[in-house]
Amino acid sequence: MSKAPAYHTPVLLQACIDNLNILPNGIYVDLTFGGGGHSAEILKKLGPNGKLFAFDQDEDAQANSLKDARFTLIPQNFRFLKNYLRLHGITEVDGILGDLGVSSHQFDVPERGFSIRFNADLDMRMNRKSSLTAQMILNEYDEKKLTTIFREYGEVLNPHKLARLIVTKRAERKITESDQLKEIITPLTPARDANKFLAKVYQALRIEVNGEMEALKECLLQCNEVLKKNGRLVVISYHSLEDRMVKNLIRTGDPDGNEERDVVYGTVKKVYRNLTSKPIVPEEKEININTRARSAKLRVGEKQ
């Protein structure tokens, strides 16, 4: 089996592997392959008859595919989990791991446009075959829609002012690059928390570009269907929107938190047993090595 390259440092690696409770002959899914760090560790725990399927829509990740007969990399968005597993003859799995968010590689490659550190075209597509870019959103969405994105996906203060400023400035000149966007929104950028504010703006744009919330919701609902009884769902999230969905799913079986009740007895139907009443977070030692782990929260559910 090949060794995973230094493409992305896997977050909470040991906690993920421990909580997957890997069976040697089990079938597992890595929803977010990236650099293959989590997948490589799962394979170490599998026996010769075990199987691991991984998803990643980013074509850059394909170069990291692991050479192992037990491993299959599916170059698709994880929102298609159920269909692509069925194409490989799989209807049930023993565990699912998801490390959500953006990989270190995507942040570190300037031309991808994910990072506030570089001046680059405002792209932000995880799947570069898709048509929608951050540049298109900034130049074509109306003020109302921009306001909604910044409020809901970025949780930005005064999102309506931000949207109005962008609409005003784009009328003078098309917004195409990161530095241009940063200059435009300077009047609204707090001096002491500039990076935090910019990160929220970028997060909102990235989530909209990639349809991340819709994809996650679809995927989580499919996890309910494909996980076997006693199978484990292990998910790392990096912001409150993702974490809320995962927490709701484990608590109620629904990403929106809607409770389904038994028709006869009126009791709430439980899909998962919650194994993390409080999320698992990285220790300071891991954060010092990998600062991007700082906001990570790991939640675990066991299918009932």
Confidence of residue 202 (pLDDT cuts 50, 70, 90): very high
Distance CA 126, CA 59 (A): 9
Same domain, residue pair 206 and 227:
no
Same domain, residue pair 199 and 218:
no
Give the per-residue SS3 of 55-96: ECCCHHHHHHCCCCCCEEEECCCHHHHHHHHHHCCCCCEEEE
CATH number for position 90: 3.40.50.150
pLDDT score for 128: 84
Q: Which domain holds residue 260?
A: 13-104+212-303
Same domain, residue pair 99 and 216:
yes
pLDDT score for 110: 56
The CB-side HSE value for 286 (13 A sphere, CA atoms) comes to 16
pLDDT score for 229: 98
Average pLDDT, whole number, for the chain? 92
- 131-148 pLDDT tens trace: 999 999 999 999 999 999
Select from 210, 228, 252 the last residue of a domain. 210
Distance CA 96, CA 170 (A): 43
Instruction: Provide the domain count of the chain.
Output: 2
pLDDT score for 3: 42
Same domain, residue pair 34 and 181:
no
Which residue reads 């998962």 in tokens?
Answer: 272
Per the domain annotation, does 184 fall within a domain? yes
Q: How many CB atoms lie within 10 A of CB 107?
A: 17
Which residue reads 């799962």 in tokens?
Answer: 42
Same domain, residue pair 298 and 175:
no
Same domain, residue pair 184 and 219:
no
As beta bridge partners, residue 55 has 74
CATH number for position 178: 1.10.150.170
pLDDT score for 83: 98
pLDDT score for 1: 43
Containing 155, the helix (H) or strand (E) segment is: none
Same domain, residue pair 60 and 184:
no
- 39-53 pLDDT tens trace: 999 999 999 999 999
Per the domain annotation, does 7 fall within a domain? no
Mean pLDDT, rounded, for 241-247: 97
Residue 247 has pLDDT above 70, yes or no: yes
Residue 7 has pLDDT above 60, yes or no: no
pLDDT score for 111: 52
Select from 210, 232, 250 the last residue of a domain. 210
Same domain, residue pair 133 and 195:
yes
Per the domain annotation, does 121 fall within a domain? yes
- 72-119 pLDDT tens trace: 999 999 999 999 999 999 999 999 999 997 655 455 555 565 677 778
Distance CA 249, CA 253 (A): 4
